[in-house]
Amino acid sequence: MTLAAQPQTVLTDEITTGADYEIVRRVIETISENYRDQPSLEALAASVGMTPTALQKLFTRWAGLSPKGFLQAVTLDHARRLLASDLPLLDTAYELGLSGPGRLHDLFVTHEALSPGEFKAKGEGLTLRYGFHVCPFGLALVMVTDRGLAGLAFCDPGGERDALADMQGRWPRATYLEDLAATAPYAARVFDPANWRADRPLKVVLIGTDFQVSVWNALLKIPMGKALAYSDLAREIGRPDAPRAVGAAVGANPISFVVPCHRAVGKTGALTGYHWGLTRKKAILGWEAGQLHPS
């Protein structure tokens, strides 16, 4: 797959975006494995067979920030700074949402939980429409009900089957329909910051146990560019002794990215596990840093 035989000109936007992610993903992987050595742009470019300038351009277009800047964003130091910014943030940016049943964060999300009956039936009688869409982090599997967004998962090209199976395992009795027309608007809304507007709230449906839903609620309160330790989350929901259970609940979050599970980090600021791959967690964090400080 190395020869330059592909006719670049006929590739659609979507396909190039997917291919771009693959390159960027490998670069990010390299950066996060060797960030101590501060790999140079030249070395990074060589590792993916590109010229330094081409990689610089591609990476910056993707992340809104240079490989160098990304390297810094992924560093332990940076994650620690996110943590250092104290807890008060939890209630501040967020008073406005009190009027309605909903919660707000950067994406202007309103949510409702599924009724206990509906949940216990493991999705029985629920119709989930799904579709795969290209996004900045590879392929996104979007699942919606008539009440709003219910699931968001990631995969690499070729992994569609596994991703779908993973989601279907969560609600085995639900009916699944492929319906790109239904899911496309959600994909566009979620991954384009220009669409994060209060007058177009994103409706999501949280399907989980009480404990899980309370953890996901706490996650929704973390603003973009901030992070919280699992133990802080545990305190936030009033179970200071259950950081481990919180970790499990965070990992079970069916709507990744929208429910910002990537903003939960270890007590020390270390980036810990991620259901859809640690590399992707770093990619998302770096991408958010780029949205925050456009260069």
Partner DNA sequence: ATGACATTCTTGT
Partner DNA sequence: ACAAGAATGTCAT
Which residues belong to the active site? 261
86 lies in the binding site for DNA (CB under 7 A): no
Q: Least CB distance from residue 85 to DNA, whole Å?
A: 16
Among 45, 249, 258, 283, binds DNA (CB under 7 A): 249
Distance between CA 57 and CA 121 in Å, rounded?
50
Selected range binding DNA among 18-26, 36-44, 188-196, 207-215, rule: CB under 7 A: 207-215
Q: Least CB distance from residue 75 to DNA, whole Å?
A: 15
Selected range binding DNA among 12-20, 30-38, 147-155, 234-242, rule: CB under 7 A: 234-242
Residue with tokens 């404990």: 211
Q: What are the residues whose beta carbons fall under 8 Å from the beta carbon of 260, sequence distance 6 or more? A: 105, 219, 220, 222, 224
Residue with tokens 């929901």: 237
Is the separation of the CB atoms in 228 and 194 below 8 Å? no
Q: Least CB distance from residue 274 to DNA, whole Å?
A: 5
Please choose, from the candidates 204, 208, 207, the residue with its C-alpha nearest in 3D space to the C-alpha of residue 144.
204
Q: Least CB distance from residue 119 to DNA, whole Å?
A: 9
Sign of the CA dihedral with 277 first, then 281, 282, and 286 last: positive
DSSP structure class, residue 192? -
Distance between CA 283 and CA 286 in Å, rounded?
5
Please tell me whether residue 109 adopts helix, strand or coil conformation: strand
Q: Least CB distance from residue 39 to DNA, whole Å?
A: 20
Residue 8 phi/psi, 5-degree rounding, is -55, -30
Q: Least CB distance from residue 164 to DNA, whole Å?
A: 17
Q: Give the angle 151-24-44 at the CA atoms, nearest 5°.
A: 155
Is the separation of the CB atoms in 224 and 288 below 8 Å? yes
End-to-end CA distance of the chain: 33
Selected range binding DNA among 22-30, 52-60, 127-135, 225-233, rule: CB under 7 A: 225-233
- CB-nearer residue toward DNA: 46 or 245: 245
264 lies in the binding site for DNA (CB under 7 A): yes
248 lies in the binding site for DNA (CB under 7 A): yes
How distant, in Å, are the alpha carbons of 83, 125, 163, 195, 202 from that of 106?
18, 32, 26, 11, 11
Residues 141-180 that bind DNA (CB under 7 A): 169
Selected range binding DNA among 18-26, 29-37, 265-273, 283-291, rule: CB under 7 A: 265-273
Among 123, 247, 286, 290, binds DNA (CB under 7 A): 247
Selected range binding DNA among 72-80, 86-94, 129-137, 255-263, rule: CB under 7 A: 255-263
Among 229, 255, 284, 285, binds DNA (CB under 7 A): 229
# of chain residues touching DNA (CB under 7 A): 34
- CB-nearer residue toward DNA: 44 or 250: 250
Please choose, from the candidates 95, 187, 156, the residue with its C-alpha nearest in 3D space to the C-alpha of residue 279.
156
Residues 21-40 that bind DNA (CB under 7 A): none
The footprint of DNA (CB under 7 A) covers 169, 209-212, 229-231, 239, 241-253, 256, 261-262, 264, 266-268, 272-276
